[in-house]
Chain A
């Protein structure tokens, strides 16, 4: 013998939220047990009134804190009436064997397909799409990430994060009329067997989502492909070159697109990882910057991260369930081992306590830096005009090392004194070599 709860659904009796007066609340309190957010509800379930709050009548003098929410979001709520408990004979359906026989926490109709890491709610695929997309919409609205009419470059690598970002942004842009012009921006590092394949994915995305694509290559910008760089410097520090060059390449590509903003697919896991890495490196300047949802607002092209609070796990499931076309192969050059450890550590923590990821981000946000800490001043590179805290930006230093065969240039902190030398090049000796392969001036 098994007890089953049958929930009666009722359409909201008052479609106009203004008709929710105090008397209505009291009626509600007697008749209903709790509110179930509809799939369209933009509020996290934690912000909705609890069962207790609903069953205790609101005070006469003031409106309760939750009544404000109800006013605002009444259109998104389904009121679930008293539960009727019925009895059913025997075992539940086959559904109970897999997934415990529960139904989706949100729609209460379909079987759940996943458990949300943030809330532990078990929800079905359809409701997952809605909450996933609307949560990103909330982040965009709450942080005023975009203004109507802006040109937005989506940094697209062909990987799952940027593919989901391009897809979700174009959906939200349409659904909520953001009025944005979206573009895909890819960087061709020149890595055979990795980037050439992933660029094919981005080219398909261009057609699938109808977003114009711009590709900028290391070869064009710097005169070197990553393959060529690796053939000279080997597999040590190659990720430093790639990372520094990519950062600039994206800015330059965005400038070519005349974009107002660059959005990247960095997710909550990535940011938590970066917070940890910056602590491990003692990099205070980056530690305070890395959790900002918008960076570089004073620079030529601000960057923002709409997935700042989105779990990688959910992005992955979204991409899988939606059958999005993305590319997933590790870079053929050795991955950054140090970051790899931080990454795995975060995933280990997540398994025990999913909230850990958001908490690490919050720790990063709330960090207070002592006033005695000297922060590097931001200036511009003397050579190419890119933002830099040194006389020359990192890319120019690295490039000079490549072009002059001084491969350690700009790689390690131990070479700080040599880096200083680079800041004052002897005109006759160094200029011509650099002019052979200029890293270009910024077209801002």
Chain B
């Protein structure tokens, strides 16, 4: 998992995370599960910069295997082993 565009600053400056996300349902892991997991396990400060209500804050781009998550099903996008999820924030100047 990669956090770019300043989002790395919310996770102690670490850009790339290799994560093993535990999921209840043996076979399915959706983006919404990943977001919840990231929020409680990786984000160290200012979670409001990443999450708004039950999704990412508008202005944060999400790519699953380099494909916009809007095309993969958004929150319901199903994740598999070795998938690469990228978050890029656009919510600051410059």
Residues in A lying within 8 Å of B, measured CB to CB: 97-100, 111-115, 122, 125, 157-162, 198, 269, 312-313, 316-317, 320-321, 327-331, 335-336, 340, 343-344, 347-348, 350-351
How far does the alpha carbon of A329 sit from the alpha carbon of B73 in the complex, in Å? 29
**Which A residues are in CB contact (< 8 Å) with B66?**
113, 125, 321
Evaluate contact between A316 and B90: CB separation under 8 angstroms: yes
- Hey, what's the 0/1 contact readout for B65-84 against A, CB within 8 Å counting as 1? 11110111100011000000
Pairwise interchain contact A329-B6, C-beta atoms closer than 8 A: yes
**Residues B67 and A112 in contact, CB atoms below 8 Å apart:** yes
Whole-angstrom CA separation of A77 from B94 in the bound complex: 38
Known A-B contacts A320-B88, A328-B6, A344-B58; the reply to A159 vs B93 at CB < 8 A is yes
Residue from the set B9, B61, B71, B94 with the largest chain A CB neighbour count within 10 Å: B94
A sample of 27 inter-chain contacts (CB < 8 A) reads A98-B67, A98-B71, A99-B67, A100-B71, A111-B67, A114-B68, A114-B71, A115-B71, A122-B71, A157-B94, A159-B94, A160-B5, A160-B90, A162-B94, A313-B61, A316-B61, A317-B63, A328-B4, A328-B89, A330-B92, A330-B93, A340-B91, A343-B59, A347-B90, A348-B58, A350-B58, A351-B58
A36–B15 alpha-carbon span in the complex (Å): 40
Residue of A nearest to B9 (CB): A329
**Contact in complex: A343, B91 (CB < 8 Å):** yes
Any chain A CB within 8 A of the CB of B11? Answer: no
Asked, given contacts A113-B66, A320-B4, whether A313 binds B91 with beta carbons under 8 Å apart, the answer is no
> What residues of chain A lie closer than 8 Å to B65, measured between beta carbons?
98
CA A173 – CA B51 in complex, angstroms?
40
Q: Taking A115-B70, A328-B6 as contacts, is the C-beta distance between A317 and B64 under 8 angstroms?
A: no
Closest to B55 in A: A351
- Interface size classification for chain B: 20 to 34
Given contacts A99-B72, A328-B5, A343-B91, 14 further A-B contacts (CB under 8 A): A98-B67, A98-B72, A98-B73, A99-B71, A114-B71, A115-B68, A115-B70, A316-B5, A317-B61, A320-B4, A320-B88, A328-B89, A328-B92, A328-B94
Report chain A residues within 8 Å CB of B34. none
Are the C-beta atoms of A198 and B58 separated by less than 8 Å?
Answer: no
* Ranked 4 nearest A-B pairs via Cβ: A159-B94, A347-B58, A347-B59, A114-B68
**B85 interface hit (Cβ, 8 Å):** no
Given the known inter-chain contacts A115-B68, A329-B9, A351-B58, please indicate yes or no for A320 contacting B63, CB distance below 8 A.
Answer: yes
Complex Cα–Cα for A98 and B67 (A)? 9
Which residues of the other chain, A, contact B91 by a CB distance below 8 angstroms?
A: 340, 343-344, 347
B90 / chain A contacts, CB cutoff of 8 Å: 160, 269, 312-313, 316, 347
Chain A residues within an 8 Å CB radius of B6:
328-330
List B contacts of A198 (CB < 8 A).
Answer: 94
